[in-house]
Structure 1
Amino acid sequence: MASTCAQLCLRCRGLLCSKTLTSTGQYYAQVRHCNTVTKVPTKISNRLFMWGNHTAPQTRLRWKQHMCYYSDLTVKYLTSEAKEGKHTEDVVRTDVAVYPAPLLPTRDDVSTTENQVSLADLDAVAELSALEEITDEEAVGISSPSVMPLASTSLRDYVDKSETLTKLVQLGVDLWKLEQRPHVGSMLLKLDFSKDVAPRLLFLKEVGVEDSRFGYIITRNPFILTESLENLQTRVNYLKSKKFSSETIASMVSRAPYLLNFSVKRLDNRLGFYQQQLSLSTSNTRNIVARLPRLLCGSLEPVKENLKVCEIELGFKANEIQHIVITVPKVLTANKRKLTQIFDFLHNTMKVPHHLITKFPQVLNTKYLRLRERHCFLEYLGKAQYDPALPNYISLDRLVFLPDETFCTDLALATLEDYYLFQKTL
C-alpha cells in the first residue's frame, strides 16, 4: 500500500513539473517575442532612424502594461493554488534567475478579453523601414516644445523665449553689453514686460525722453527698470523745484541715464557742492549741470583733483577757474594728464599767458596732436603769433577749431598739400 502511494506521488510530481516547464517556456517565448518586436527602428525628426533598444513611447508603455498583466496573473494563480492546498517545493532554475515552482497560466487558461495583447500596434511599429521618407507635411508638423534653458552664459539663448528680452532688443538695447555685468542678466529674466518695463518706459516718455533714447538709457542703466515709479517722480519733481525746465530735464535724463537713480538728498548735495566750491550763482550752477548732467552722477574725487590741479599746478586764480568752468564744464571731469599736457604746451612752448587761456578756455578741451601740428606748421612759416597787441595776431579758438582747409588758406596762407607734407615730417 505504501509503495503504491509512493508511485502515485512520483507520477503526479512528474506531471506537475512537465506542465511547469511547458508554461514557463510559453511565458518566456512571449517575453522574447515582445523584446523582438519592440527592438525596432525608431523614426526621428531629421529623417534618420536609430536602431537598438530605443523603443517608441507607446510601445514601451504597452510593454510595461504587458509585464504588469503577467505579474497580476501570477499573484492570482498563486492565491488560487494556496486556497486549493496545492503546495510544491520544486524550483525551476535557469541561467538568468530562479523562479518558484507555481506555474504561470497559459493563454488558453485565461479569458480572451483579459489576456489579449495589442500586437497590432507593435506590428505597425515593426513595419517601419529605415528607407522610408516622411512627407513635407509631416516634417512641418514636427515641433519641439520651447523650453527655457536652465543655465547659459549668454542672453541670446533666452531672447526667443522671453517677452521682456525680445521687446528690449526691439527698443535697441545692447544685451551683449548687459550680460557682461554681474547679475544683470538674471535680473532682466525675472522682469515682466507689462508690469515692470512698460510703466517705466511710459514714465520716461511723459518726462519728455524720446523713444529713440530708450535703448541707450537701458543699456547703460538697466537698474532704472527696478526703481519705483514713486521715487522716479519724486526726483523729477525736485529738479523742477530747482527751476530746471521740462526740456532740460528730458535732455539731462537722456544724456545721464543714472540721474534718476539717485536720491533727492544726493542730488541736492551735489548741486550745493558745485555752488559753494566754485562760488557760483544759482543760475550758473544750474547752467553747468544742465550742460554736463553727469556731474550729478559721477564721483566727486576727479572733480576735486582737477580743481586742485588748476589752482596749484597750472597756476590759475579762483576767478579764472570759475570762468573756465562756466565756459567749459568738461574741464571738471577731463583727464588730469591730458589737461596738464595741453596747458604745458600752451604756456611753456607757445608762450600763451594765463589770461589768454582763460579768455579762450575751449583750447583746454582740444586734441593735443592737432594743437601741436598746427603750431609747429605756423612756426615753420614764421606766423606763430598769439599776442593780440602785435600784428598778424592768431586767436587760440581759430587756431584750434577751424577746419584744415580754412586754417591753411586763412591763417597759414599755404596749401592743404603743403600742410599734409609737413605733418609727415613730425
Structure 2
Amino acid sequence: MLRQCLRLKNIQFLLKSTANRNGADFVEHRVLVSNVRRNHSVVPINKSESDVFDDSTELIPFQEKNNPLLEDPNFDGVVPIVAPSFNLASLVNKSELLQTFVKLGVSIHDWEKKGNIHSWIVKLDFKKDVQPIIQFLVDQGVSPESLGTIFTKSPMLLKTSIEELEIRTKYLQSKKFTSEMIVRIFSRNPFWLLFSTQRIDTRLGFVQQTFDLTGNELRALASREPRLITSNIQQIKLMNFGFKEEMGFEHQQIKKMLLTKPKLWLMNKPMLLDRFDYLHNVVKMDHETMLQFPGVLTSRSFRVKQRHGFLCYLNRAQYDPKLPNYVSPLKLISDSDSNFAVHVAKASVQEFNDFCKTV
C-alpha cells in the first residue's frame, strides 16, 4: 500500500509539472510535431559549436523557471523499492502441497537452503508428480516414517521419473543386492537414486578395485555406508594417501579399516590426521589397537585429550590388555563424563570437572 501511494504521488507530480508548462512552449511543441508529421524539412542554422553550446546553457534557467520542482508538504521522501524475498515457509498456509510435505515430515526450512527449489516445487501436482514416487519407495520397503527425511535430503528426487527409479533399482537387484540392502541404501542416502546406473557402476568398480574387495564385501560396504559410493572419488584417493603415506597403515589394514569404519573416508582429512597424531604420538596407541577400536578416530579430540590427560594425572593411563589396570580405548570415547570419572578413572565427578578446567 505504501509503495502504491508513493508511485501515485510521483505520477501526480509529473502531471502537475506538465500542467504548469508555459503555454508558448506547448504551442511550439505542437507546431514542431505538426511539421514533422507533414515531413517539412528543418532548415539548419549555421552556428559555431561554441554558439550552440552557449545557446543550450542559456535554456537551463528558462526551463527551471517554467518547470519548478514541486514539493508536497505531506510527502517526507522517497524510500528505495526492495524486491520481496521468496520464502517457502510463508506459503505453507496457502499451499496444500506444502502442507502435505510438512505432514510427511519434510523440513521446509532445509529446502530453502537448497537454491531455487521454490521455482519448481510449488508447481508440482501431488497426485501426478509426488504420489507415484511415494508409492514407489514404499513398494521397495522404505518406511513411511523415512519419507520426510528422504525428501528433505533429496528434493530433486521429486523431479525423477518412475522409469529411471525402476531402472536404478533393477540394476542393484542384478548386482545381487538384497531387498534389505536396497532399502538401507535408499533410506540412508537418497542421492543414490539421482545417479545413473553408469555412474553407480563406475563408482562401485572403482571402490572394489582400489580396496581389493570381494562381491560380498562391496555389497556390505555399499549398504553400510552408501554415501561413500556417491562421494567425490578424488576425496577417496586423498584419504587413501593419508592412511598409507601419512599415517603409515598397510594396504590390508586400510581395507580392514574401511570395512569396519567407512565413515572415516567421509571425514575432514586434516582433522583426522590431527586425531591420529595425538593418539599415536601422545597416547602411544599403535596401528593394531586403532584397527581394533577405529571409533577412537571419529571421536572429538577434546574429549580424548581430557580423559587421557585425567588418567595420566591419576597414573591410570594404561591401554595394554596384557598389563594390570587395563583401560579399554573405548572408554576414552564412550559413556558419560560421570560414568568415566567414577567407573574408569576411579575418581569423583568433581575431581574430573576441576581437572578439565585446567586443560
Q: TM-score, normalised by structure 1?
A: 0.62
| Cα drift, residue 305 of structure 1 | 0.9
Counterpart code for 2:117:
V
Aligned residue pairs total 277
Aligned counterpart for 1:271 among listed residues 193, 204, 216: 204
> What is the rounded CA distance, in whole Å, between the counterparts of 2:114 and 2:292 in structure 1?
43
1:248: which partner in 2?
181
> What is the rounded CA distance, in whole Å, between the counterparts of 1:218 and 1:313 in structure 2?
39
Assess if the C-alpha contact under 8 Å between 2:317 and 2:327 holds in 1. yes
2:340: which partner in 1?
407
Q: Is 1:215 aligned to 2:148, yes or no?
A: yes
Aligned pairs (5 A) from 1:226-375: 226-375=159-308
| Cα drift, residue 169 of structure 1 | 2.4
1:124: which partner in 2?
none
> What is the rounded CA distance, in whole Å, between the counterparts of 1:157 and 1:360 in structure 2?
48
> What is the rounded CA distance, in whole Å, between the counterparts of 1:160 and 1:192 in structure 2?
17
Instruction: Specify whether residues 320 and 178 from structure 1 end up closer, same or farther in structure 2 by C-alpha distance, changes over 3 A only.
Output: same
Q: Which runs of 5+ in 1 are unaligned?
A: 1-150
| Cα drift, residue 402 of structure 1 | 3.5
Instruction: Specify whether residues 385 and 183 from structure 1 end up closer, same or farther in structure 2 by C-alpha distance, changes over 3 A only.
Output: same
Q: TM-score, normalised by structure 2?
A: 0.73
Assess if the C-alpha contact under 8 Å between 1:328 and 1:361 holds in 2. yes
Instruction: Specify whether residues 193 and 344 from structure 1 end up closer, same or farther in structure 2 by C-alpha distance, changes over 3 A only.
Output: same
Aligned pairs (5 A) from 1:66-145: none
| Cα drift, residue 355 of structure 1 | 2.1
Bigger CA radius of gyration: 1
Assess if the C-alpha contact under 8 Å between 1:163 and 1:193 holds in 2. no
Per-residue CA deviations over 1:207-234 (Å, capped at 9, x if unaligned) read 1112222221112211111111011011
Q: Which moved more, 1:399-408 or 1:193-202?
A: 399-408
CA RMSD of aligned residues (A): 1.9
Q: Which moved more, 1:280-289 or 1:311-320?
A: 280-289
> What is the rounded CA distance, in whole Å, between the counterparts of 1:152 and 1:271 in structure 2?
42
> What is the rounded CA distance, in whole Å, between the counterparts of 2:91 and 2:319 in structure 1?
61
> What is the rounded CA distance, in whole Å, between the counterparts of 2:261 and 2:194 in structure 1?
26
1:416: which partner in 2?
349
Per-residue CA deviations over 1:58-92 (Å, capped at 9, x if unaligned) read xxxxxxxxxxxxxxxxxxxxxxxxxxxxxxxxxxx
Q: Which runs of 5+ in 2 are unaligned?
A: 1-83
| Cα drift, residue 328 of structure 1 | 0.6
1:43: which partner in 2?
none
Per-residue CA deviations over 1:126-174 (Å, capped at 9, x if unaligned) read xxxxxxxxxxxxxxxxxxxxxxxxx861224443443322322222222
Counterpart code for 1:382:
N
Assess if the C-alpha contact under 8 Å between 2:303 and 2:333 holds in 1. yes
Q: Which moved more, 1:281-290 or 1:312-321?
A: 281-290
> What is the rounded CA distance, in whole Å, between the counterparts of 2:314 and 2:216 in structure 1?
45
> What is the rounded CA distance, in whole Å, between the counterparts of 1:310 and 1:198 in structure 2?
45
Q: Which moved more, 1:182-191 or 1:384-393?
A: 384-393
Assess if the C-alpha contact under 8 Å between 1:378 and 1:384 holds in 2. yes
Counterpart code for 1:312:
E
Counterpart code for 2:220:
N
1:37: which partner in 2?
none
Instruction: Specify whether residues 179 and 350 from structure 1 end up closer, same or farther in structure 2 by C-alpha distance, changes over 3 A only.
Output: closer
> What is the rounded CA distance, in whole Å, between the counterparts of 1:335 and 1:265 in structure 2?
28
Assess if the C-alpha contact under 8 Å between 2:303 and 2:332 holds in 1. no
